[in-house]
RNA sequence: GGGAGGGUUCCCGAGCGGCCAAAGGGGGCAGACUGUAAAUCUGUUAUCUACGAUUUCGAUGGUUCGAAUCCAUCUCCUCCCA
């Protein structure tokens, strides 16, 4: 039996969205779910205990970053990421495939793998599907991602096709190299850019490899929202209904809801922590750039409808003051609130599915948030 | 009392006859942020009846076609010697 399994609980009668549960060696996750990103074995600004306080059920970490610092051997010796960062709930590690995209100026792709230059000291490193599986095994996450190439947008058909086919070959090699299936589950990643036939081909090829879960990668890389929805419309249904579906790198409140409506179970994104550190907070009435001068005397809470720790205790004016002064607490409080906002949004989404009213929930949410559609 | 150096746009600080509304920081204001090279990045920051015009570089007067830049006086600050 695979380390990670998916249990479908019910589908929303109004929209067809699915409510489920992902079972892992470190406990179960209610889906749809949002996973905070903790690239360097830390969700920036948040302790593991605080993540529990906001009901984070699973977090993400990253192969490339943890390999460079502190090195997977140290993490392994600490008892894997779970022991190292004192987090006893599920963890997912990304493979470094996204860094193939984001560090495009510092790497070279070959059939064998990717030669990286460290963004820290410029030193040269090689990642192959096999080496990545070794690192991810040492990191010890419950869910590990296959080593893929996240193609840029826009990209030529021929390039995306070659990239996608190579990603499939790498997925086969990953599966071959991944032995610890009792403790970890390896998810495949569908690529294919914005090309329908490539997405179909990718999904079918990966399905044949029978992974315990599937991710859709290569989206939210700068393409228009409508295009992403279109790709999801035809890609998500191709994935096995009895396995979890993970949309990588998404995102904003509307992307999450639109993703769930299209059958996605898992999401991750740096957005809440990053925009939080940069002075923007998510609220039920839309984004608020809390750093702006107009909030200097606003002693109300970040979001009038929020009951998170931050909103229960601190005002907009105070948090703005902290941010303007570069105080660490400001970054922490905005990150905290934003993470809570998305995790709580997914909780409401799950309840709406349970009540067969996700479509209505979406309309109400969008109206209040200020989305035009 | 004697000597030396200096006062530049919100702040610090370059500029040392025209290419200066004046470098560069900082601060302010605004925007971006989507599997984290991000506590980052971008724009903007004299005034106006703004693709042009007007007033700025301690004050006043002068030299010059032209001055933040040269000269004189005044004023204020810093340092050194008594």
Catalytic residue among A94, A138, A142, A303: A94
The one-character DSSP state at A115 is E
Supply the pLDDT for residue A373: 53
Strand order, beta sheet including A18-24: A5-11, A18-24, A27-31
CA of A96 to C1' of B66 (A): 63
Q: How far is the C-alpha of A307 from the C-alpha of A302, rounded, in Å?
A: 10
Sign for the pseudo-dihedral over CA of A77, A339, A292, A294: negative
Are the beta carbons of A173 and A211 closer than 8 angstroms? no
Separation in Å: B3 C1' and A305 CA: 71
Give the bases of strand B that a protein CB approaches within 7 Å: 27-41
* Helix boundaries (H) for A33-144: 48-53, 63-68, 72-77, 80-84, 97-102, 129-139
ipTM value, please give it: 0.93
Residue with minimal CA–C1' distance to B34 is: A251
| Spatial distance from the CA of A27 to the C1' of B52 (Å) | 70
- Token look-up 């702006």 returns A292
| Predicted confidence (pLDDT) per residue in A258-274, tens digit | 999 999 999 999 999 99
Q: Count Cα neighbours of A236 within 13 Å in the Cβ-side half-sphere.
A: 24
Q: Which nucleotide lies nearest residue A61, CA to C1'?
A: B35
Task: Name the closest nucleotide to A280, judged by C1' and CA.
Answer: B33
DSSP string, A154-208: S--HHHHHHHHHHHHHHHHHHHHH---TTT-EEEEEE--TT-HHHHHHHHHHHHH
Residue A138 appears among annotated catalytic residues: no
* Residue A198 CA distance to nucleotide B41 C1' (Å): 34
- Would you write out chain A's pLDDT as a tens digit for each of its 373 residues? 799 999 999 999 999 999 999 999 999 999 999 999 999 999 999 999 999 999 999 999 999 999 999 999 999 999 999 999 999 999 999 999 999 999 988 999 999 999 999 999 999 999 999 999 999 999 999 999 999 999 999 999 999 999 999 999 999 999 999 999 999 999 999 999 999 999 999 999 999 999 999 999 999 999 999 999 999 999 999 999 999 999 999 989 999 999 999 999 999 999 999 999 999 999 999 999 999 999 999 999 999 999 999 999 999 999 999 999 999 999 999 999 999 999 999 999 999 999 999 999 999 999 999 986 5
Nucleotide nearest to A42 (CA to C1'): B36
Predicted pLDDT of residue A262: 98
H or E stretch at A280: strand A280-283
CA A232 to mean position of chain CA atoms: 16
Which of A343, A333, A325 minimizes the C-alpha distance to A45?
A333
A107-109 and A114-117 beta bridge pairing: antiparallel
Q: Quote the CA–CA distance of A268 and A250 in Å, as a whole number.
A: 6
**Are A357 and A16 within 8 A, CB to CB?**
no
- Burial of residue A94, with CB atoms counted within 10 A of its CB: 0-12 exposed, 13-18 middle, 19 or more buried: buried
Catalytic-role residue among A138, A148, A265, A268: A268
Q: Rounded CA gap, A367 and A344, in Å? A: 18
- Contact predicate A355/A347, CB 8 Å: no
Measured CA to C1', the nucleotide nearest A118 is: B37
Is residue A268 part of the annotated active site? The answer reads yes
- With beta carbons less than 8 A apart as the criterion, state whether A259 and A249 touch: no
CA of A288 to C1' of B54 (A): 39
Spacing of A293 CA from B48 C1' in Å: 26
State whether residue A282 is helix, strand or coil.
strand
- Cα dist. A306→A16, A30, A204, A313 in Å? 28, 21, 42, 11
Question: Of the candidates A310, A352, A357, which has an alpha carbon nearest to the alpha carbon of residue A334?
Answer: A310
User: Distance between alpha carbon A170 and the CA centroid of its chain, in Å?
Assistant: 21
Dihedral sign for Cα atoms in the order A208, A209, A213, A215: negative
**If you measure CA to C1', which residue is closest to nucleotide B40?**
A278
């Amino acid at each position: 039996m695979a380390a990670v399994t998916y249990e479908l609980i019910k589908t929303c009668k109004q929209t067809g969205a699915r409510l489920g549960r992902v079972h892992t060696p470190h406990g179960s996750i209610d889906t749809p779910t949002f996973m905070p990103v903790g690239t360097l074995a830390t969700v920036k600004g948040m302790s593991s205990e605080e993540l529990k306080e906001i009901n984070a059920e699973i977090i993400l970490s990253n192969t490339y970053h943890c390999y460079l610092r502190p090195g997977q051997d140290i993490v392994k010796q600490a008892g894997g990421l779970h022991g190292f960062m004192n987090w006893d709930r599920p963890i997912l590690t990304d493979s470094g495939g996204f860094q193939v995209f984001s560090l495009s100026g510092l790497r070279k792709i070959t059939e064998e793998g990717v030669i990286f230059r460290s963004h820290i000291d410029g030193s040269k490193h090689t990642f192959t599907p096999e080496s990545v599986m070794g690192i991810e095994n040492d990191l010890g996450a419950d869910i590990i991602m296959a080593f893929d190439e996240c193609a840029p947008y826009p990209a030529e058909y021929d390039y995306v096709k070659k990239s996608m086919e190579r990603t499939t070959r790498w997925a086969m090699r990953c599966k071959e190299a991944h032995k610890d299936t009792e403790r970890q589950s390896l998810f495949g990643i569908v690529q294919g850019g914005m090309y329908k036939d490539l997405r179909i081909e990718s999904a079918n090829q990966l399905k044949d490899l029978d992974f315990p879960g599937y991710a859709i990668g290569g989206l939210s890389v700068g393409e228009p929202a409508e295009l992403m929805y279109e790709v999801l419309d035809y890609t998500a249904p191709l994935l096995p209904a009895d396995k979890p579906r993970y949309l990588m790198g998404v995102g904003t409140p509307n992307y999450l809801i639109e993703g769930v409506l299209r059958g996605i179970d898992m999401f991750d994104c740096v957005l809440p922590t990053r925009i939080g550190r940069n002075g923007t907070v998510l609220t039920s009435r839309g984004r608020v750039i809390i750093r702006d001068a107009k909030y200097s005397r606003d002693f109300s809470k970040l979001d009038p409808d929020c009951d998170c720790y931050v909103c229960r205790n601190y005002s907009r004016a105070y948090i703005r003051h902290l941010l303007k002064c570069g105080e660490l607490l400001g970054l922490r409080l905005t990150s905290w609130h934003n993470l809570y906002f998305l995790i709580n949004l997914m909780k409401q989404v799950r309840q709406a599915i349970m009540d067969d009213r996700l479509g209505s929930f979406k309309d109400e949410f969008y109206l209040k948030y200020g989305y035009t559609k």
